[in-house]
Amino acid sequence: MYILGIETSCDETAAAVVIDGKTIASNIVASQIDLHAQYGGVFPEMASRAHVEAISPVVEEALRDAGIGYEHVDAIAVTRGPGLVGSLLVGVNYAKGLALATGKPLLGINHLEGHVYSLWLTQPFREILFPVVVLIVSGGHSELLLMTGHGQYQRLGGTLDDAAGEAFDKVGRILGLPFPGGPNIERAASLGNARAYNFPRAKRDDSYDFSFSGLKTAVLRESTVPSSAAARRGERGTDRTPKLRTDISVNDVAASFQSALVEILVEKATRAAKAYQATEVLMAGGVSANSLLRQMMRSASELPVRYPPLNLCTDNAAMIAAAGYFRYNAGLRDDLSLDVAAMWPLTSASYDR
């Protein structure tokens, strides 16, 4: 069964064809990183415009790469939310147009469920036995889930403030590193001493929630010079941007920050896996590309640890197509009234609908 996946929830215009929810026939990602890097983050208005320009060529390339035409597609899966409304609309409207023109079934997919199903695209595939604990860590989300079957999710906890990737991006900005912060902090950290600074490990309690804004503030305090009283009053000609101290080592701060953040993710995920008698710990999302996180999770967990290959950690449409396959198999379909859902928590209800 061929599923065409379309993803435009944030700053990547992506389309892919996946066979039987497991085999990638094509996977095209047009990244807007260069466009947004100059602003130090994703600029929503620019993102939707860039999606409009890229969507059609990206979808066509995905079909061409897979060596198929629309007639071979069994269903169209598109990210419906959560994400930036303007960006989501581009993908959803395009998918609706295709569904209308081709008569193929339409499936609205939760972006987080897409990240979960990126785990089903690892090759060679070993069957995943439920229940599993899934840690989704991306630029917009940090969620700890118990997955008891296809489409069956129980939320154990999540971030109370910044997402893990967002914390990487904000700290990257403080340290003057290019956007996105994650991979650049990882690079700087590999040259630094993780014990140089003792940053706070927030939410060291028995919940499964995370909090990263205190950690970010601690990095800000440690590594920048406070702005002058005149700047704080907003007087003309004064600059409010905090200046990086010249006597700190960016590499040491990056390494200490990274290890504080990773430590807390690992602690909560491994504790949840034990408490819920999971068979495995699964990780997905942009931050699961982080090699310290992968390594620390593997050494702390008594259970097998699984994460997607690097190109499937960050946003892509193959994961949306994979999630679409399982949704299709469960008999779920959407019609042309499908609307975007900027906020859409991942619960079993979104599957049972």
Residue ranges that bind ligand KG4, judged by CB under 6 A:
10, 138-140, 165, 168-169, 180-183, 186, 285-287, 289-290, 314-315
Q: How far apart are CA 119 and CA 125, in angstroms?
A: 9
Scanning the structure block, which residue is given the tokens 């992506």? 14
The secondary element (H helix, E strand) that includes residue 18 is strand 12-19
- The one-character DSSP state at 159 is B
**Which of ligand KG4, Zn ion, none is residue 182 near (CB under 5 to 8 Å by kind)?**
ligand KG4
Q: How far is the CB of 162 from ligand KG4 (least distance, A)?
A: 10
Q: How far is the CB of 233 from ligand KG4 (least distance, A)?
A: 33
Q: How far apart are CA 223 and CA 216, in angstroms?
A: 11
Cβ proximity of 18 and 121 under 8 Å: yes
Q: Which of residues 87-146 bind Zn ion (CB under 5 A)?
A: 138
**Which of ligand KG4, Zn ion, none is residue 165 near (CB under 5 to 8 Å by kind)?**
ligand KG4
Scanning the structure block, which residue is given the tokens 């999710």? 153
**219 φ, ψ to 5°?**
-65, -40
**224 φ, ψ to 5°?**
-125, 160
Does 315 contact Zn ion by CB under 5 A? yes
Stretch that binds Zn ion, among 17-25, 68-76, 241-249, 313-321 (CB under 5 A): 313-321
**Which of Zn ion, ligand KG4, none is residue 41 near (CB under 5 to 8 Å by kind)?**
none
Does 263 contact Zn ion by CB under 5 A? no
Q: How far is the CB of 121 from Zn ion (least distance, A)?
A: 14
The secondary element (H helix, E strand) that includes residue 270 is helix 250-275
Q: Which is nearer to ligand KG4, 159 or 314 (CB)?
A: 314
Q: Which of residues 135-174 bind Zn ion (CB under 5 A)?
A: 138
What's the first-to-final CA gap in the chain, in angstroms? 23
Q: How far is the CB of 285 from Zn ion (least distance, A)?
A: 6
> Which residues contribute to the site for Zn ion (CB under 5 A)?
138, 315
